[in-house]
Each structure stands twice: as C-alpha cells, then as structure tokens.
Amino acid sequence: MLAVESIFEFSPTQRRSVGWRLDGGFGSDDNLNWLLGRDYQVIAKGASHRRAEKLAQQVSRWDQFNETAWLAWVPTPVEFVRPVAP
C-alpha cells in the first residue's frame, strides 16, 4: 500500500477520493486502520476467523435464513480508527 501511495503521490485531499478494494489477507485490521487513518475510502472483506468466532459467541438470537445458513445481529460492532458504514 505504501508503494502504491508513493508511486501516485496522493495528496491528503486526493486520498479522500481514492478507493481501495481489499479481499483475503489484505483485509486485516492493521491494513484497514492504516488506510482509514489516511482518509482513504475502503471496501473490504475482513480476514479474521477468530473475530467471527468471538462475535458469534456474543449473539443471543439466531434467525434461520435457509436450510444451511443462519443470521444474527452482532451486539458489539468492530471499531476502527474512524467511523465506517456497515
């Protein structure tokens, strides 16, 4: 990410208009917080099965979506360095 930033030499104003799409291993909390902290726009699939397991333990009500999938509202959302949309 630093290499891309140094190649394009984005100004702080330009960074607010640049979007990053992350998937797999690049969706770590450290990477997301670094990008968010530099005012980039981010679309990401978080990469943390441990977080998913921990959040699942907090859920008190599960709703069946179909034969193989269940949905639940997570009571404690993940916090990042700046507010994010769900």
Q: pLDDT tens, position by position, for the chain (86 residues)?
A: 889 988 999 999 999 999 999 887 788 888 999 999 999 999 987 667 777 888 888 899 999 999 999 999 888 778 899 998 87
- In angstroms, the CA 5 to CA 61 distance is 43
Q: Which amino acid is at 50?
A: R
pLDDT of residue 78: 81
- What are the two backbone dihedrals, phi and then psi, of residue 15, each rounded to the nearest 5 degrees? -60, -35
- pTM for the model: 0.72
* pLDDT at residue 70, as a whole number: 93
Q: Closest Cα partner for 60 from 41, 70, 75, 39? A: 75
